[in-house]
């Protein structure tokens, strides 16, 4: 019986049968690398999501602060209760309002020069500095009192209590019961 010939290493049949696959160590290394990439990506996505949420809360605080200052200018009596949080979107916000007088300092020459000009009878003593601070409330992950590490906004504005921001404000005040009396009271209290 003739002896069967075994294929040599250079023979094409031997190359097909001896193909190399992944070793167990290479498979483990590939899984470790893939899991490290997945963890890095998920951490980055989570961080971006938290950052976006924080920016949305800060934007909500800014919107509320702007609305509160406009409401204060138009109709002070209609401001919400400071003891209760204000709901905006899916968050609750707290707020404070501080009203302070403003003292303008002028040099003597400019005061004497402007005393003869038109409009010199306007008193700047009635101008007030209004500061509204809005921050994320404790019920939404913030705090009950203001701290700078929670999403917050501070808006400061100079206002003249006798100047109306729009004609509708004056009309609303006059048509309100006791509105004309309140208008005269504001005028008497704020004119000097």
Question: Domain range for residue 58?
Answer: 51-103+124-161
Answer yes or no: is 16 within a domain.
Answer: no
User: What whole-number distance in Å separates Cα of residue 89 and Cα of residue 13?
Assistant: 71
Q: What is the pLDDT of residue 116?
A: 54
Residue 8 pLDDT class (50, 70, 90 cuts):
low
Answer yes or no: is 32 within a domain.
Answer: no
Answer yes or no: is 151 within a domain.
Answer: yes
Answer yes or no: is 98 within a domain.
Answer: yes
Say whether 112 sits in a helix, a strand or coil. helix
List, edge to edge, every strand of the sheet that includes 86-88: 86-88, 91-101, 128-136, 152-159
Answer yes or no: is 81 within a domain.
Answer: yes
If phi > 0 it is left, if psi is from -120 to 50 it is alpha, else beta; for residue 84 that is: beta
Provide mean pLDDT across the span 147-175: 78
Q: What is the pLDDT of residue 135?
A: 96
- CA–chain centroid gap for 137, Å, is 13
Residue 9 has pLDDT above 80, yes or no: no
pLDDT tens digits, residue range 44-79? 999 999 999 999 999 999 999 999 998 888 778 789
The strand pairing partners of 136, in sequence order, are 93
Report the alpha-carbon angle 169-75-190, nearest 5.
Answer: 90
The count of domains in the chain is 1
Answer yes or no: is 31 within a domain.
Answer: no
User: What whole-number distance in Å separates Cα of residue 169 and Cα of residue 174?
Assistant: 9
Quote the percentage of the chain above a pLDDT of 90: 43
Answer yes or no: is 85 within a domain.
Answer: yes
Residue 136 pLDDT class (50, 70, 90 cuts):
very high
pLDDT tens digits, residue range 162-178? 666 566 666 666 677 77
Q: What is the pLDDT of residue 176?
A: 73
Label residue 92 exposed, middle or buried (CB < 10 Å: 0-12, 13-18, 19+): middle
Instruction: Look up the CATH number of the domain holding residue 79.
Output: 3.30.1300.30
The answer for residues whose C-beta is within 8 angstroms of residue 72's C-beta and 6 or more apart is 79, 97, 130, 132
pLDDT tens digits, residue range 75-121? 787 899 999 999 998 999 999 999 998 887 776 666 555 555 555 55
Residues in the chain: 192
Residue 5 has pLDDT above 70, yes or no: no
Nearest to 66 by CA among 167, 156, 173: 156
User: What whole-number distance in Å separates Cα of residue 146 and Cα of residue 131?
Assistant: 14
Answer yes or no: is 119 within a domain.
Answer: no
Nearest to 98 by CA among 160, 183, 169, 155: 155
The answer for residues whose C-beta is within 8 angstroms of residue 42's C-beta and 6 or more apart is none
Residue 186 has pLDDT above 90, yes or no: no
Q: Which of 25-29, 101-105, 142-146, 161-165 has the lowest mean pLDDT?
A: 161-165
Q: Tokens representing 166?
A: 């729009």
- CA–chain centroid gap for 183, Å, is 35
Residue 22 pLDDT class (50, 70, 90 cuts):
confident
Residue 181 has pLDDT above 80, yes or no: no
């Amino acid at each position: 019986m003739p002896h069967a010939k075994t294929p040599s290493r250079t023979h094409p049949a031997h190359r097909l049968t001896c193909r190399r696959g992944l070793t167990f160590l290479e498979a483990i290394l590939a899984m470790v690398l893939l899991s490290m990439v997945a963890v890095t990506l998920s951490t980055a996505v989570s961080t971006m999501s938290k950052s976006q949420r924080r920016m949305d809360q800060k934007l909500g605080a800014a919107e509320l602060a702007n609305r509160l200052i406009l409401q204060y200018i138009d109709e002070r009596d209609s401001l919400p209760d400071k003891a209760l949080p204000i709901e905006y979107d899916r968050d609750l916000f707290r707020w404070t309002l501080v009203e302070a007088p403003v003292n303008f300092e002028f040099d003597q020459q400019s005061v004497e020069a402007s005393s003869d000009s038109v409009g010199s009878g306007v008193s700047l003593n009635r101008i007030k500095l209004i500061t509204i601070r809005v921050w994320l409330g404790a019920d939404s992950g913030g705090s009950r009192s203001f701290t700078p590490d929670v999403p917050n906004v501070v808006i400061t504005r100079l206002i003249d209590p006798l100047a109306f921001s729009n004609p509708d404000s004056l009309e609303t005040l006059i048509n309100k019961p006791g509105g004309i009396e309140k208008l005269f009271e504001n005028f008497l209290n704020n004119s000097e």
